[in-house]
Amino acid sequence: MSKETKYTEDNIRSLDWKEHIRMRPGMYIGKLGDGSSADDGIYILVKEVLDNSIDEYVMGAGKTIEISIQGEKVVVRDYGRGIPLGKVVDVVSKMNTGGKYDSRAFKKSVGLNGVGTKAVNALSAFFKVESTRDGKSASAEFEKGNLTNQETLEETSRRRGTKVSFVPDGTIFKHYKYRAEYVAKMLKNYVYLNPGLTIIFNGEKYFSENGLKDLLSDTINKEDRLYDIIHLQGDDIEIAITHSKTQYSEEYHSFVNGQHTTQGGTHQAAFREAVVKTIREYYGKNYEASDIRKSIVSAISIKVMEPVFESQTKTKLGSTEMGGDLPTVRTYINDFVKTKLDNFLHKNPNTAESLQRKILQAERERKDLSGIRKLAKERAKKASLHNKKLRDCRVHLTDSKKDRNLESTLFITEGDSASGSITKSRDVNTQAVFSLRGKPLNSYNMSKKIVYENEEFNLLQAALNIEESLEDLRYNNIVIATDADVDGMHIRLLLITFFLQFFPEVIKEGHLYILQTPLFRVRNKKETIYCYSEQERRDAIAKLSGKPEITRFKGLGEISPDEFVHFIGDDIRLDPVMLDKEKSIEELLSFYMGKNTPQRQEFIIDNLKVELDTIEEEL
């Protein structure tokens, strides 16, 4: 019988604010990550500082925000009112301290009430806040939340406002790297939601005059829009709608009080419902909801009094009330859409006609595919029962949606040896494996019908649960894991083509990644170093004295499960798949996956020549 553990006064601990944040950072900023995902912790830190500057603009103070990210250091400077000088230290280091508790000043604020900058401070190796107002300034410096220097009430000629500088703590955010693309997307959303605000990031200016209309203009190329963007605004609400000519599934961008609710919530659900109801009533036809919303690309922003979110990082709205004397979120959005969208369609018959043609086309395609889809679903269900291709993770073996881990990952791999290594090494709670059989089909220029007729695509679609909408995506991270050789690269390209052709929003919303695994293992009797490039290999050889043993990994199957566990665990390296904003999806697909063209051959030869020249220089 085991000995009973003693439980006395000595077991009781009281953590101060910074210790609690550092011990449980996930409670405050969500997942940590290394910067390869847009919702990793280092971007949440930037966001929490920015939110305070945005609130200043909303309150009518300061029209410009300057941001600099050089390496690991972030600097955010606004020209708002400035933190009251006697409270500079308290605001960034005392929990439950801040101006947002005063509802007169911040009725519909963005930031985390009394928590945001404290979390940034506690999780930074270096943190400095400077405030200027009334011709005077005050500043304070911290390390991991501990005050190291303080200067108060100095005379200055600087413009009023607040400047925050910080360096995330490398012991918490391991191997992190800021990606400018993710920061830029965040900043664009800020200016879309705050027309008239200027944000300057590393010298580049971001500005919007037309709000959510500009968001959709940047999201979907004019050539791919079925009709001109419908842009409707009201008190505390703004929406923008169009339909894509080529995209199959629904795409939504939703916001609450300036917060990008990437997981939707009550407002997005109400919006989807209201669009269907309004269009049915306008045409006097009981069209299927899926036919109406097929290919829709839209955005909605609302402002709510004291919103309730389902997580600390505010990615999903849980509120059902608008606040004050206003009706529920659902009723408010439904009434707005019913009135404004109906009026727009009556005044713009050409748009209404284009939309109806799109609905009827979707209806025909759905009916044509109904038999194929039914058989495809039965095959997918039977395959999942026998667990032939998908080895799921435990969080998805429950029927309760709330129990499913939003940070779950699906590895898509090819071959028994590669899938075997990952399967044996994975975290069975949150990591799943989908095994391909051979190379996937080149799906460029093919219709959605091929997704149901091709076993690999059908089962992959079923595993991801993305047939109708990205809202029900079962895995937050979809990771292509192939060998780092010509065949592996080709499989990657074919899979990316599949997503671009049929589910581009998976890439647009930052869910698709490439797994990076080491090319070399360099070791002696005392130390082992895994290298992801030729340069790292040379550095490792120089570091390890003598003649170390060098192993070249030719495929994933050559890496033992004992080693692989590190490469898909804490030390995982992921490269996000990102779209080139300068080119349409059709342009990308036709260039890389269409018939061989002289231009593509020239591109390959030029890039190969650059690679060969680099190798020759190294030799």
Closest CA to 569 of 34, 30, 27: 34
- pTM for this predicted structure: 0.81
With cut-offs at 50, 70 and 90, classify the pLDDT of residue 326.
confident
For 53-92, the pLDDT digits (tens) are 998 898 888 899 999 999 999 999 999 999 888 888 888 8
Q: Residue 39 in 3-state DSSP? A: coil
pLDDT at 619 > cutoff 60: no
pLDDT at 518 > cutoff 60: yes
Q: What b/e string do you get for 353-386 counting C-beta neighbours within 10 Å, with b at 16 or more?
A: ebbbebbeebbebeeebeeebeebeeebeebeee
- The residue ranking higher by pLDDT, 33 or 104, is 33
Write down the domain spans for the chain: 17-207, 212-365, 387-517+555-582, 520-552
At the topology level of CATH, where does 387-517+555-582 sit? Answer: Rossmann fold (3.40.50)
Contact 187, 206 (CB under 8 A): yes
Interval 568-576 mean pLDDT? 85
What is 17-207's CATH superfamily?
A: Histidine kinase-like ATPase, C-terminal domain (3.30.565.10)
For 355-387, the pLDDT digits (tens) are 999 999 999 988 887 777 777 777 666 665 455
The span from the CA of 125 to the CA of 588, in Å, is: 42
Non-local CB neighbours of 466 within 8 Å, separated by 6+ positions: 249, 472, 473, 503, 506
Mean residue pLDDT of the chain comes to 83
Interval 506-513 mean pLDDT? 88
Any idea which of 14-28, 303-317, 583-597 has the lowest mean pLDDT?
583-597
End-to-end CA distance of the chain: 66
Strand ranges inside 62-115, DSSP E: 64-70, 73-78
User: Quick one: what percent of the chain has pLDDT higher than 70?
Assistant: 83
Interval 467-474 mean pLDDT? 76
pLDDT of residue 380: 65
pLDDT of residue 580: 67
pLDDT at 403 > cutoff 50: no
The span from the CA of 556 to the CA of 481, in Å, is: 8
With cut-offs at 50, 70 and 90, classify the pLDDT of residue 211.
very high
CATH for 212-365? Answer: 3.30.230.10
Any idea which of 225-234, 275-284, 395-404, 555-564 has the lowest mean pLDDT?
395-404
pLDDT of residue 125: 95
Closest CA to 195 of 209, 213, 212: 209
Any idea which of 190-194, 368-372, 574-578 has the lowest mean pLDDT?
368-372
The span from the CA of 321 to the CA of 338, in Å, is: 19
Same fold, 17-207 and 387-517+555-582: no
Interval 492-511 mean pLDDT? 87
Question: What ranges in 387-475 are assigned the alpha helix state H?
Answer: 416-425, 449-453, 455-464
The span from the CA of 619 to the CA of 617, in Å, is: 5
The partner residues of 167 in beta bridges, in order of sequence, read: 126
pLDDT at 562 > cutoff 60: yes
pLDDT at 158 > cutoff 50: yes
pLDDT of residue 370: 76
User: Quick one: what percent of the chain has pLDDT higher than 90?
Assistant: 38
pLDDT of residue 3: 53
Interval 102-121 mean pLDDT? 62
Which single residue is written with the structure tokens 């009550």? 266
- The residue ranking higher by pLDDT, 234 or 4, is 234
pLDDT at 147 > cutoff 80: yes
pLDDT at 607 > cutoff 60: no
Non-local CB neighbours of 60 within 8 Å, separated by 6+ positions: none
